[in-house]
Structure 1
Amino acid sequence: MTVQDTNPAAVKPAHRLKTGAEFKASLDDGRQIWLGGRKLDKVTDEPALAAGVDLIASMFDDQFKPEFAEATTYNDPASGELVSRSWQVPTTPEELTARRKMIEYTSLKTAGTFGRPPDLSPAIVAGLMAHREAFKEKSSMIDGCQPDFVENIEAYMDFGRNNNLTASESLAGPQTDRSNPKAAEMAFLRVKEARADGIVVSGAKTVGSIAAQANDIFFTNLGGLTTTPPEACVWGAVPINTPGIKMISREMVSQPGADKFDHPVASMGEEADQFIIFDNVFVPKDKIFNLGDPTGMSWYGPVCVFAHWHVLTRLAVKAELFVGAGQMVLDVLGTGKIPAVQLMLGELIEYAQTLRAFVIAAEAQATMTAAGVLTPDVSMLTAGRLYSIDNYPKVIHTLQEICGQGLVMRFGKAAFENPEVGHYLQDLLPGHGVSAMQKELLMNFIWDMTSGALAGRVALFENVNSSPAPRLRARLFEEVKREAFVDQVKTIAGMDW
């Protein structure tokens, strides 16, 4: 799409951006989704899903606002058009920093409660772009279909960028009987048919966050599966309304329609995790990025480096929100001079500063891939994500403790406005320099971030999304090269072995 203006002095650059209305219209495409046992005619038929759609739509509209333009858009050097920064592939330190601004923007826009906002899936595609040289050496190991993986990766990046695309990514398979490897394998996406123009796949994916609210789904079986049978080694992307795709939504946990005062965060809706059925779904040849090659699956870790950078940056932004909320509690309760309370806020500050340091260090130690893409340091990202999940529950508890009874005894806007009892609340619950309602709004914000149903779901997601701590420690063992450290010890101690 191109913006045109009849006034030559006011001509705007050509762009490839959608408005919020255009994004919402793109979701009315016949996609199949079930919630609570009922099939929805449209994704916006469900209030919680509709609220989340509205929040995402506002991100599209923000692209046209001067105050958000730098964070959300950039000029594509190839076309000269203005495009979404979600689809930027960094090649310089400056571009890496600029791309982070988009992550910080979406994190603040959602208060960090969307683990997979619209700019997350493009990070996976950027990872494929970063390592596409490795895919030049690979070819389909499934007879009947021979895609060009590198050509497809590059074409999909262009497709996403040129269409301001919102995609979901689903990597995990369904939870099954872990004691039976065959049971786990049964849930893998598998190629059922291969032909010259594409493949037909069946199976299921889970934790398809934002899938119901996106245009495409980007999928694979979770990486590192070097023993996976060839028919289960597949990466691809298709529109979410492709025949054969059925989404079963988890229970909604937000508070759509609630007064913004009562639920400042939960009223904005949520990303909706989906159990996604692939029932003989056709994947076109030009949307396949790996087919039948187990060694291609082992590139999951390197390819996901930008996604892990996204996760860590979002957690850092949310940690800074915790610090801001904690400081406001000290201010409105007048507890800022109490040493024990200062130390509790210090814990929140330590957490936020440490996560931010990991983000900065990962960027400072970024390396260039053979394809000319600058990628954050993976070991710093892994260590940062490990630190985050080890400390997240403690940080939540500390912020709750700073609030005291304020989180236990919360009152909604209707109670304050009730003529019979509201004046008691106003008179008896004021804060230091603020009204009772102002103090209550702060407590309601912290409730949504730490204690309500949405907060519980987010806390669970953070742990699962980052991988369990033992797995991350195992990754650090593999990622961090220790030979230089050993040599230093030998030099200092005078060891000659």
Structure 2
Amino acid sequence: MTNTQRQFKSATEHRLKTGAEFKESLIDGRQIWVGGKQIEKVTDEPALAAGVDLLASMFDDQFTDEHADATTYYDEAAKAVVSRAWQIPRTKEELVDRRKMIEYTSLKTGGTFGRPPDLAPAIAVGLYAYLPTFKKKKSLIDGIDPDFAENIERYVEYGRENNLTASESLAGPQSDRSSPKASEASLLKVKSVEKDGIRIYGAKTVGSIAAQAKEIFFTNLGGIQETPADACIWGSIPVNSEGIKLISREMVSQPGSEKFDHPIASMGEEADQFIIFDNVFVPKDRIFNLGDPTAMQYYGPVCIFAHWHVLTRLAVKAELFVGAGQLVLDYLGTGKIPAVQLMLGELIEYQQALRAFVLAAEALAKPTEGGVMAPDAGMLTAGRLYSIQHYPRIIHILQEMCGQGLVMRFGKKAYDNPEIGHYLHDLLPGHGVSAMVKEQLMNFIWDMTSGALAGRVALFENVNASPAPRLRARLYEEIKRNEFTGQVKKLAGIE
């Protein structure tokens, strides 16, 4: 039994929701459109409902011996067991402990939820890591002066106390990039100032799990040369706030299908939302920056924990690719073919490299000005760049290893059919396994590499990690080369 499990069993207090409580919390009047039609509640759409069920199971897992250590910890200040999603790592050991939650949610979703419930809290923790800076910042919008640092502290406490799920939506809608005015048109901006808050108007895009979460964590990023003061804002509000409208993209999963046929796609999805903010009220105590463009420049440092989350999830998914690849060799009897061994070797190389980047980022972690242990930015950026450069190649290799197995899939109903099923059972066995077991593996790999959900995930990985040129630009800014140039000068005898 782990230390967390002992504390859990002996603790009289916890701040955790059950799956049922989480699902009930989502029936709150939020406005969602799917396929052009407004739905009454999130569970009315099968793909969203399946995703909600998956998220609910994560809440229930908090109460199990198997998953308690990965999903919860005992918070000394609160004197209660709370979610690891809101853990503030003060040491490298606590950083490693927090990673357990990322690995858990990544495995739970097969890595197909790019923004699981523990990602948005990572950004809140990132703000917390720079409390001294945000303490010095002041609102540059007349008529309102929130205490940003106090609001950040209070929000992290609120999230921890309420086992809160949030969606982070930072990207702006795609528009005419050649026109600064077009880029600015959809920016979230302050529309008016009131006594106890502000009203904002605009839109955000790729709001993953927004329809399945309680809050929306938002800001404006990129796309314009200089962010206007009225668009310099960090904040968070409930999803059911008046004026919030969620327009869902097309669904790509297979909810309600046989688990045998679609082991991953049957679990539903994090349906990205186009989020409209139509004169939405943001309370004064939910504002973390307002009007100050210098605070917007903290995107990189603040989002460092989110980038660590992204790279860790990709490392976990790479391990799934290696595991699936090994099973292909086992089930097809191709493990002694040198060319196939080399294919698996390339999958292993990718997996080992991503894991190395994660471990290196943690080993080189340093405390921020706020005393929060932050992973190394350079290692995270290089790791994310490596991941997106190689991801298409890794997918292709795994597909190639499967051969016709991905093309010729029949489904459980065909195997169960008395007229034709016996042919499939007799003529399609694997090496030491039945035809159905072999097909189960192919169905898993299909969902991870080839189906509609896999296609969406592959596109998301590239967008979510940031395009390669932007990551290289970040490396140029993040990695200081003075030590390297000094070494060259010394060896070359340059004065």
TM-score clears 0.5:
yes
**1:89 alignment partner in structure 2:** 88
- Report how far residue 133 of structure 1 moved: 1.2
Q: For the structure 1 residues 152 and 200, does the alpha-carbon distance in structure 2 shift closer, same or farther, using more than 3 Å as the test? A: same
Q: 1:198-257, CA deviations, whole angstroms, 9 ceiling, x for partnerless residues? A: 000000000000000000000000159672110001110000000000000000000000
Q: 1:101-151, CA deviations, whole angstroms, 9 ceiling, x for partnerless residues? A: 000000000000000000000000010011111111110000011000000
Q: Distance in 1 between matches of 2:222 and 2:239?
A: 22
Q: How does 1:175-190 map to 2 (within 5 A)?
A: 175-190=174-189
Query: Normalising to structure 1: TM-score of the pair?
Result: 0.97
- Report how far residue 492 of structure 1 moved: 1.2
Q: Distance in 2 between matches of 1:19 and 1:237?
A: 23
**1:420 alignment partner in structure 2:** 419
Q: How does 1:421-440 map to 2 (within 5 A)?
A: 421-440=420-439
Aligned residues: 487
Q: Distance in 1 between matches of 2:443 and 2:355?
A: 26
Q: Distance in 1 between matches of 2:358 and 2:82?
A: 25
Amino acid at match of 1:304: C
Indicate if the aligned counterparts of 1:210 and 1:273 stay in contact, CA closer than 8 A: yes
Indicate if the aligned counterparts of 1:223 and 1:297 stay in contact, CA closer than 8 A: no
Q: How does 1:334-483 map to 2 (within 5 A)?
A: 334-483=333-482
Amino acid at match of 1:30: G
The secondary structure found in structure 2 opposite 1:242 is coil
Indicate if the aligned counterparts of 2:11 and 2:81 stay in contact, CA closer than 8 A: no
**1:145 alignment partner in structure 2:** 144
Indicate if the aligned counterparts of 1:225 and 1:294 stay in contact, CA closer than 8 A: no
- Report how far residue 196 of structure 1 moved: 2.6
Q: Distance in 1 between matches of 2:307 and 2:167?
A: 15
- Report how far residue 166 of structure 1 moved: 0.3
Q: Distance in 1 between matches of 2:460 and 2:110?
A: 15
**1:3 alignment partner in structure 2:** none
Amino acid at match of 1:428: L
Indicate if the aligned counterparts of 2:180 and 2:224 stay in contact, CA closer than 8 A: no
Q: 1:34-59, CA deviations, whole angstroms, 9 ceiling, x for partnerless residues? A: 00111000000000000000000000
Q: Which runs of 5+ in 1 are unaligned?
A: 1-9
Q: Is residue 2:231 matched to residue 1:232?
A: yes
**1:302 alignment partner in structure 2:** 301
- Report how far residue 332 of structure 1 moved: 0.3
Q: Distance in 2 between matches of 1:127 and 1:12?
A: 28
Indicate if the aligned counterparts of 1:140 and 1:291 stay in contact, CA closer than 8 A: yes
Indicate if the aligned counterparts of 1:226 and 1:297 stay in contact, CA closer than 8 A: no
Q: How does 1:39-438 map to 2 (within 5 A)?
A: 39-222=38-221, 227-438=226-437
Q: 1:316-365, CA deviations, whole angstroms, 9 ceiling, x for partnerless residues? A: 00000000000000000000000000000000000000000000000000
Q: Distance in 2 between matches of 1:366 and 1:244?
A: 41
Q: For the structure 1 residues 40 and 337, does the alpha-carbon distance in structure 2 shift closer, same or farther, using more than 3 Å as the test? A: same
Q: Distance in 1 between matches of 2:222 and 2:14?
A: 35
Amino acid at match of 1:164: N
Indicate if the aligned counterparts of 1:188 and 1:221 stay in contact, CA closer than 8 A: yes
**1:36 alignment partner in structure 2:** 35
- Report how far residue 284 of structure 1 moved: 0.2
Q: Distance in 1 between matches of 2:129 and 2:438?
A: 48
- Report how far residue 438 of structure 1 moved: 0.3
Q: Distance in 2 between matches of 1:15 and 1:193?
A: 40
- Report how far residue 12 of structure 1 moved: 4.4
Q: Distance in 2 between matches of 1:225 and 1:145?
A: 25
Indicate if the aligned counterparts of 1:169 and 1:208 stay in contact, CA closer than 8 A: yes
Q: 1:138-176, CA deviations, whole angstroms, 9 ceiling, x for partnerless residues? A: 100000110000000000000000000000000011100
Indicate if the aligned counterparts of 1:168 and 1:211 stay in contact, CA closer than 8 A: yes
The secondary structure found in structure 1 opposite 2:137 is coil
Q: Distance in 2 between matches of 1:48 and 1:132?
A: 39
Q: Distance in 2 between matches of 1:404 and 1:15?
A: 50
Percentage of pairs with the same residue: 75
The secondary structure found in structure 1 opposite 2:15 is coil
Amino acid at match of 1:77: E
The secondary structure found in structure 2 opposite 1:75 is strand
The secondary structure found in structure 2 opposite 1:407 is helix
Q: 1:20-45, CA deviations, whole angstroms, 9 ceiling, x for partnerless residues? A: 00000000000000001110000000
Q: Distance in 1 between matches of 2:121 and 2:187?
A: 23
The secondary structure found in structure 1 opposite 2:67 is helix
Q: Distance in 2 between matches of 1:272 and 1:159?
A: 26
Query: Normalising to structure 2: TM-score of the pair?
Result: 0.97
Indicate if the aligned counterparts of 1:226 and 1:294 stay in contact, CA closer than 8 A: no
Amino acid at match of 1:374: M
Q: For the structure 1 residues 261 and 487, does the alpha-carbon distance in structure 2 shift closer, same or farther, using more than 3 Å as the test? A: same
Q: Distance in 1 between matches of 2:370 and 2:223?
A: 22
Indicate if the aligned counterparts of 1:223 and 1:301 stay in contact, CA closer than 8 A: no
